[in-house]
Homo-oligomer: A and B are copies of this chain.
Amino acid sequence: MSSEPPPTAAAADELAADLSAATLSKKQQKKDARKAEKAEKAAQRQQQQQQLPADAEDPFAANYGDVPVEEIQSKAISGRSWTKIGDLDADAAGRSVLIRGATQAIRPVSKKMAFVVLRQSMSTVQCVLVASADAGVSTQMVRFATALSKESIVDVEGVVSLPKEPLKATTQQVEIQVRKIYCINRAIPTLPINLEDAARSEAEFEKAEQAGEKLVRVGQDTRLNYRAIDLRTPTNQAIFRIQCQVENKFREFLLSKDFVGIHTPKLISGSSEGGAAVFKLLYNGQPACLAQSPQLYKQMAICGGYERVFEVGPVFRAENSNTHRHLCEFVGLDAEMEIKEHYFEVCDIIDGLFVSIFKHLTENCKKELETINRQYPFEPLQYLEKTLKLTYEEGIQMLKEAGTEIEPMGDLNTEAEKKLGRLVKEKYGTDFFILYRYPLAVRPFYTMPCYDNPAYTNSFDVFIRGKRCNCMRY
């Protein structure tokens, strides 16, 4: 085993997907069969080699090996404490730690030395094995470590040390001098996705291409077919954690404003919105639908005296549109509130809500944002402490002055929205703003007309980076 990328099962898989079975020649089929047989034998050989008992004559045999089944059957509680890889820093230097992670990379240097990079969530650390009687590390132990398959789950006990030079390949700037290494669960020798391939940025691909090197790209189909593996990429780890934090802050902010969290029915007897397509099913022999929106139920809760409610839950839309703004199933962050006097009360909640989420992510998800930025670079979101509120008329005027003619009582198309986003950013320095007082003509019939001009409505939309987030109508 070497530190080179393994035979790219991911690429092979993609290729296989491209070739329909019907078009394969018999010759090709035979060739494939032989290839598969060969690969299987190789895998068997490798597995047999891995399952060999540790050398009986190795005095340090107890310091490494595959953990036997009974050990993972909850045999004993050792009371040992695990350190998170992400918590390993220079302060831990000299300390003995116990960590658990996935083998992201295994680099044999010689018979007496090897590196194993362990990954836990978004963090990686370099573990160093050097055969030495003092450390209780034998050459057999080094061999055991280098024979591990990538993405196996491994426990390492060792002493934290500071490297002489900054480490480029790992997130943590310390090393672990390994004393013990045990494999909890071995991954198959060749996985359909190589994590390093799946985690590369476009810039890395370009750089490699310029150097005449061809890197493997993991296609969307492969990622989705082996989702549990793809979920291990640092970017996905970061995305899921940020999603969780968005929900946390959404709830926390609204709870602090006396909202009550509710869960409304998803199996309903009719469609919840006129426009959107609906998933139909049978409920005890009667026709039923999946809820396209919690709207009606949120409103019933308000009529029911709950004053302010929110819901975080799935929304189902049988959309046939293939755009990134149409999804058949998504998690909706919904809120509804009683208005005392003026719909600006709602604007103020929305303003405070978004700003508090932006702040929370900036302050508490630094690592996650940096992780995503490495693979998919983005500009930090700019927003104001007090959100900018523009009337629709002001927006139209800005577009007009910039040379875009818009029907003043008509709707903004996607292009106009993007342009308005750019103009607002130039003028006000914010990616986030509220556009309000939309014309009645572009809003649904039930929108409340403005008291001073029934051609306009008490409604608003929220814009982030030139995209309308959602429609809010009052």
Contacts and interface: CB of A to CB of B under 8 A. Distances in A.
Interface in A238-297: 240-241, 243-244, 247-248, 251, 255, 260-263, 265-267, 279-284, 290
B341 A121 contact: no
A334 to B, nearest CB: 14
A247 B119 CA distance: 32
A88 to B, nearest CB: 16
Given A70-B451, A251-B248, A340 B121 contact: no
A305 B343 CA distance: 44
A300 to B, nearest CB: 4
Interface in A35-59: none
Interface string A433-474: 000000000000000111110000010000000000000001
A119 to B, nearest CB: 8
Contacts of A329: 265-267
B228 A240 contact: no
Nearest to A73: B451
B244 A121 contact: no
A11 interface: no
Contact of A281 (B227, B279, B301): B279
Contact of A304 (B227, B255, B313, B452): B227
Contact of A305 (B121, B251, B290): B121
Interface in A327-356: 328-329, 331, 339-344
Q: Chain copies in the assembly?
A: 2
Nearest to A300: B228
B240 A260 contact: yes
B265 A77 contact: no
Contacts of A280: 281-282
Nearest to A151: B305
A307 B99 CA distance: 13
A366 B76 CA distance: 42
Contacts of A262: 240, 243-244
Contacts of A63: none
Given A74-B339, A458-B73, A314 B232 contact: no
Interface string A149-164: 0000000000000000
Interface string A191-213: 00000000000000000000000
Contacts of A236: 304
Interface in A66-88: 70, 72-78, 80, 82
Contacts of A358: none
Contact of A73 (B72, B281, B448): B448
Contacts of A328: 267, 283
A120 interface: yes
Contact of A451 (B74, B248, B300, B306): B74
A100 interface: yes
Nearest to A346: B74
Nearest to A302: B228
A102 interface: yes
- A232, A260, A307: most-surrounded residue (chain B CB, <10 A): A260
A320 interface: yes
Nearest to A263: B331
A60 interface: no
Contacts of A266: 266, 314, 316, 329
A72 B474 CA distance: 11
A303 interface: yes
A361 interface: no
A320 B320 CA distance: 33
A229 interface: yes
Contacts of A70: 451
Nearest to A342: B74
20 contacts: A73-B450, A74-B344, A80-B341, A120-B305, A121-B305, A121-B307, A231-B303, A232-B304, A232-B305, A240-B260, A240-B306, A243-B262, A244-B260, A263-B314, A267-B279, A267-B328, A279-B281, A279-B282, A280-B281, A313-B314
9 shortest interchain CB distances as A-B pairs: A231-B304, A73-B451, A281-B281, A74-B342, A244-B261, A228-B300, A228-B303, A232-B305, A70-B451
Given A78-B341, A281-B290, 7 more contacts: A73-B451, A75-B451, A77-B344, A102-B305, A120-B305, A121-B305, A231-B306
